[in-house]
Structure 1
């Protein structure tokens, strides 16, 4: 029997290995938290588990290891090398302690004990072992290292003279991407909740449909910088020779618009209130509040007759990682196609009531301009209503995370909302002196306006300069405007344009739109170049870009007329902006050509929303179809993008 059992186990191992080899996407995910001889870490075990679940949902065959010894890391790497031999994509993720010696990176197993510098290579796991495992694989290779915390062995390795902070930059051959939680040579922060800042940002952006990995990393970098006030800046080194997206679906709506459409389609008061709570400055918040005020009762949906609504609800829950959405999906579709994965994800996410002080502080006091995938930001008027709770939470967060001045900046904003502007200014000054970007910008604005202090234009400009240099998109945009105007600083158009270009490259949709507008008006470049800038701005969140692009495509002259593409831009704007384009199209106040209106009608008809004559004219039926598109009828396939 023992021999038979051995043969069965061997056969299963062969079958598993064969399945891994056959998989197009494979991943090795390791998270080490429970160290025997050095500081225990809170996040890595969670980061690894959460990322493995997300990757499995994206079609990866995942080898998961948590709290691995050196032997365990070596065995997992051998399994990974075998799985990657015939894969198209091979991903390695590590969270835990890591350090560099002599320009080489070492990941720390849980059983590592280093008493002498020479133990570094004997007791740890060299990154070169991962590179060797992938050497012969034809796959596109993605390496994510959330291992840039301080050297855990302190003076033991520092005596060697070659040990540096963080991790060293790794040279790459073709088709590698190395993504670091922070810049090579710098150290990263542990997260204040379940996940690290870097892993949390990854988890929120993996499911953005059709997003190239280069754009995803820009979004991840912006979120981490924002969450840490500029103290941590993820960095990547890429030699990829082909495009890659984790979610290969067609580009969809923004997460906010999808949320609104799902809530509208479900006709559920609780979902609509959750939308308003999560997106207090959302493009649809006025409609959502109006919808709630009508007292519309919840509509009962028969199971099985709304497969598309179920799919969209699951897509939203998976992208947003919002616990109430997952619970709503399971309540509506307990036997749904994705119910098992929904339960798995639900088990990972903490209840909102269990939030850490830092998470509560962020939810109550984050500036709207600092919105990230997991936190949308709070208008000042709303913060005023919750100022006491925000001050309590942010004060606790400052104590919990003394190394992160960002919570001091959030406490300053909450204090300002309470009316104690003098105390708020002092807190902003403290946070700004410690390098927090939002504090620098807020303090500069107070110095400009003289609110709570004497007007100090030179001081404000100095703060904008410092914040822009450190990576604040708001500071870059504000400084660029000042340099264009030549009022508070000498006029310097070349530098202003350079600041806007940098802000655009680093993720500012506002800067991208402004660069498009300048090309349209021949301040720089040529008008035909404006189209790409407008479309990129719109996809980045500045929905004005859709209307500007549609005008160019509809009118022609500077570019070839393309009514079908103009219609696509208008329909995306109809779904995602604040209602401006819907009103514009309904009355044709923009003077849209009948060719473009015809194309809009054809696409609405293909979505099953327009049943009147396709005649290129506006009217009640056209307006009703546009309203249906905005309130739940969006169909990416109809746009053919």
Structure 2
């Protein structure tokens, strides 16, 4: 049965995630200042234009739009979402008016006619829409909002208070009144809660108002542009330094803040520093080992403050057998702290150590519990591994192929490339009830778009491992997305192979 053969292929050729900021990086920069019905902003267009040049200088493919209307902004986000699918990193920077309405953040376009919450919700672009535009980038997603400079709608009644004062009204009347109230007069944005692997940066933390600055740029934009061009400065530490710089410049009146949990792989916007070769760092272990001593000190300080990503980085350094700092027991301590704080990646990495008995006494039950904890947080690697454990039997689990298939499907639906490919193969073999060639083709297509070089290689070099019906369905999907224009015949000739490469992100 091909299922086991596919598993063996993946075990041998699955590549470790790239640990550097090399590869395709795209940015959408929006600078809005010439508002038609709310107060204009002075520095936002300068900030956006300078930010675009800065990002281009460090290798980003940048789309810049100034004084953007609502219709233009939505179209730009749609286009950027498709472009982001084949990018390693997708970044959106917005400078303009942003407001909170009923706990949700909205960015106001220049042509918005806003005088109430309902106007804002209907005419503006939400942070959720921006996050959706970057969510399929392969390695990292960043949304930066330099947009809480003031409340353009002025002082107004707090919605919670207005509801309490309307106790004699019906529920429908109260809801209608709330929808037509203006936003809260305090200014600032609501806290963000992005998905794992996504970072949202505010110029000022939730509830604060950012400053426009005295020069051509806001304090936040100026600090960001100064720090992001420094090679070898890891991204989480970069934003920490931006925060400290803005606090100093504004006399502690403005504190930038980041939300979200990045993966445990270090990332550099301006690339690795001198003497750090991206080709020499194929794994998180080697990448973290290349961190400069001063940055390791910063990681230690952040770990003491409870930062789980710093704990992960310190653990990876101590798990590298080629490092003088190799200390598996210390790595277990860092991972345990991060796992207990709720980090699914730490739970997954700690599970592997318990399974192998590295730095700790082997404990299959503890390993299985940690895999399950990570899986409960939708950590796709853990879900995929649980699929293998159930399929083959392991860590005290009996072999249960049916249960394994459910884990593989769940991991595939979370865009885990290995699981997507394997699940497509299982469908192709007729092992998944009520799923056929179109479903297999969908998973193969999504694995390509996710950036799996292994899937690219297998589909171009060994396409006949899939049945003709699945190959035809994949051709149809490539044609639907305008990557292929040939016949739907299941023959993966030069035209189909070119379409596969284009879907992956390689233009011939």
TM-score under structure 2 length normalisation? 0.49
Decide which structure has the larger Cα Rg and report it: 1
Structure that is richer in helix per residue? 1
TM-score under structure 1 length normalisation? 0.40
